[in-house]
Structure 1
Amino acid sequence: MSPTRQDAWTQDEDLLLAEVILRHIREGGTQLQAFEEVGKQLSRTPAACGFRWNSYVRKQYKSGIELAKKQRKELKKQPVSFEEAKQPEIDNVITEPSQHNPEQETTLTFPEVMKYLEDIYQRAEQHKSIEADRNGSLERIKELEKQTYYLAAENERLATSLKSVEEDYRSLLEIMEKARKMVVLKEEDRQQKVKFQMDKNGNLERVEK
């Protein structure tokens, strides 16, 4: 048994922690189960995994958590699973021989038996193809979900950066407005210091105070 690790967390470990927890949320599992699963994979205690999730990683995946919760609700709305949906079809294959009465069975020809076996074989091949397509689709879904979590985290990072830029922009506008007001006040003050007087020819001339 490998010793429990206490070193710093890496980015890959944070990603694994997020993926496992989001999967448990999506599938209706508990966070404790997720912490235990990650702990076994990383040789860390469930408590360490829980602390890391709640103190740091969870803040990076707010959008991913909401998405996983929505997916869990959608899964709960589906009354019949893929395996249950194809079970009646398989049952028909299994129970089909019992539909023949003894008299019919005694009169079956060899070509009819071969045709029946070929039908069963074709159905089995179809189920294999469906299962392979299903597994491929599940892998694709997992890959897309991973990309979605990455994009959600990146979107939150950019939103935070944008908020900081907007705050800096507002601060700059305030500084510019204060500078403009100071220029206006100085100009008004300068104009107030100017006066006019009549010269000996009766013309007005400007006199500085």
Structure 2
Amino acid sequence: MTAVRQDAWSPDDDLILAEVTLRHIREGSTQLAAFEEVGERIGRTSAACGFRWNSCVRKRYEDAIQIAKQQRQKRNYLKKQTIVATPHVSSLAVFEADERGFKHDTSSLEEGLSVDAVIRFLRGWKSTYQDLTRQIKLFEKELKDKDEELYRLRDQNERLSKEVNNVQTDYRAVNDDYKTLIQIMDRARRLTVLTNEEEAKPRFKMDANGNLERIE
């Protein structure tokens, strides 16, 4: 036989929770007020009722929640039309009614903030702060690595630029030497051609009788 926990929720408890919560939604009240009313009726805390509603019961009444919201909108619309149609209702009375509702919601919210809820919130915030601190340190390390890499690349770029300049200077010097050598070789070739042509021309001399005589 399966043992039943004493604090287990019965189907009747879930039904009461659903009916009261839907009524508060339909009437434009807060869910916190609904959880407090249910807690008084079934002997549970409002926090327990809220947890039960959000974790289990709400999923079974999605359609009913939408209908309740539509009814709330229609109710608010009719209320506004009634206020417009009755000019003798002063705006001060409407303001006082809204202020009373706001004070009621605020007092209900303050009562619902238990010490355990505050502790859970602070623990969650501490965990979030620690995660953010770790991420910041990680980003700082990555930024430092990027700065070092950037410095290394700049140094390498400067060194390569100097090498390129030196190579260009050497290339211009070699090119100038090459052009000079070509010019020297061209002049030597032309001098050789002229010398050969002069040697190939026949030479003559005149003898005692006035005749030309070829000289070998």
TM-score with structure 1 setting the length: 0.41
TM-score with structure 2 setting the length: 0.40
